Amino acid sequence: MQEEVQTKRAQAAQELRDREEVEKELSVVKAWIQETRELLLNPTPDIDSLLQELEVYLPSKIYVITYRQNVDKLAEQQQSKYLDLYTILPSEISMQLAEVSLALGAIEDQVLYNTHSPEYKLDINGSRIHDMSEKLKAISTKFKEKSPDVDHAKEEVKTLFEDLDTCGRTLAELDAAVQEFGRRNPLLAKQLSDAISKLSEMHHHTSRLADCRNNWLKKAVCYLDEYNEMLDFIVRWSEKAKSLVRANIIWNSSVHLQEQIRMYQAVLRESRELHGDLESMAEKVELLSEVLQVESMSQQVCELSRHTEELQQSIKTRLQSLQDADKSMEALEYEVKALHVALEQVQATLTSPELARQSLKEQLAQRQRLLADMESFKQQVQAVQLCQSALQVPEEVMPNLAICRTALRLQQEASHLQHVAIQQCNILQVQGDTTAAAQ
């Protein structure tokens, strides 16, 4: 009896150890099943991470089937064991084996579909969704970049629009593939659909950016035309002003000076529009900076502003010199002309035939009156000399001025006429005295 009791106790203890071993092996499979279910039922929102995890946990059907074969082998061993004991498999063991086997079957079907799905393989191997996202980001970045010129910008926009159209067609294909995939695999449909939705939103945003860029480019063409039109006007004015500033001033007479004054004033009148044009050009550059690289244009506007300001200042300085010279030249010419007229009148009187037909007494009286009138020559000569000293022209050109040579000649003539008149008066006086003595 004691031996039989001890034997039954040993058998019971062995049975417990066997059941613990079975439960231990099943717990490993259950843990894997739980982990896999959590992945399939609650996958990561990041599609790239999701695909990586699926690749780790669900690499192939062999990995899943191995667990099922182990469970089937364990069930067969337990069946054989209890058949040898002429009893049935305990319900607590059979239920666990059936539950695990059923769960493995369901996961096997899911894994077999996932690992054989063309859409899944497509994303795992090619990462089309990720590639599409990166391509749209690259296109968006390109649309935000500034081009060196309008022609380059037009060509670039044309190419980017073609790339964007290609992305749109690829996105439509991906969307159709994901919808088909979702009908057969609802566990992953949400994550894939979310990824496609994000791509669609990104594509829409990039399309709006493309339209905005294209519209800006059309405006840029108009802005650039206006800029070039103003640039052409300023360059032409600068060339005219530069030529005028480099030319030598003609100081000969007030007529020449006034002609040059009118030229300088006309160029200055044209320059009144320069400041407004330069401001408008700077505004156009600011607008063009949205799509173009405008560093050189900004520098061009600054250089033009500085250069035109220098030319305007040079022209104003020269114009002031011309106006001052003209004012002093007119005064000199007036005095020289007055002196010349006075000298001609005296000369005409002295050489008049009528004077020669008069009596000696009358001739003497006439010449004495002329000598008295010639005293005013001194004041006229002084006025000429004063205007000549006040003449506002460069000292080096004064000796070559016709008006100065004329003034000198007239002064000499005035002195000569006075001397001739005095001589004639003396001769007439002597003749008169001789005639009176003879009588």
pLDDT tens figures, 63-79: 566 766 666 676 676 66
Task: With 0.75 as the threshold, say if the pTM is over it.
Answer: no
Measure the CA–CA gap between 231 and 225, rounded to whole angstroms: 10
Give the tokens for residue 341.
């007229």
List all residues 6 or more positions away from 150 whose beta carbon is below 8 Å from its beta carbon: 217, 220, 221, 224, 292
Do 331-438 and 223-328 fall under one CATH topology?
A: yes
Looking at residues 337-358, what average pLDDT do you find? 75
Question: Which residue bears the tokens 């364990």?
Answer: 74
Looking at residues 215-220, what average pLDDT do you find? 85
Measure the CA–CA gap between 355 and 362, rounded to whole angstroms: 8
Best CA proximity match to 275, nearest among 242, 311, 248:
311
CATH number, domain 331-438: 1.20.58
Res 251 pLDDT > 70: yes
- Provide the pLDDT for residue 123: 46
List all residues 6 or more positions away from 298 whose beta carbon is below 8 Å from its beta carbon: 282, 285
Amino acid at position 336, single letter: V
Report the chain's mean pLDDT, rounded to a whole number.
77
Res 49 pLDDT > 70: no
Question: Which residue bears the tokens 């001397």?
Answer: 419
Q: Which CATH architecture has domain 223-328?
A: Up-down Bundle (1.20)
Measure the CA–CA gap between 161 and 167, rounded to whole angstroms: 10
Show me where the domains of the chain are located. Answer: 2-116, 127-219, 223-328, 331-438
CB 385 within 8 A of CB 408: no
DSSP label of 292: B
Q: pLDDT band at residue 167, thresholds of 50, 70 and 90?
A: confident
Residues in the chain: 439
Amino acid at position 165, single letter: D
Question: Which residue bears the tokens 């059907």?
Answer: 61
Res 6 pLDDT > 90: no
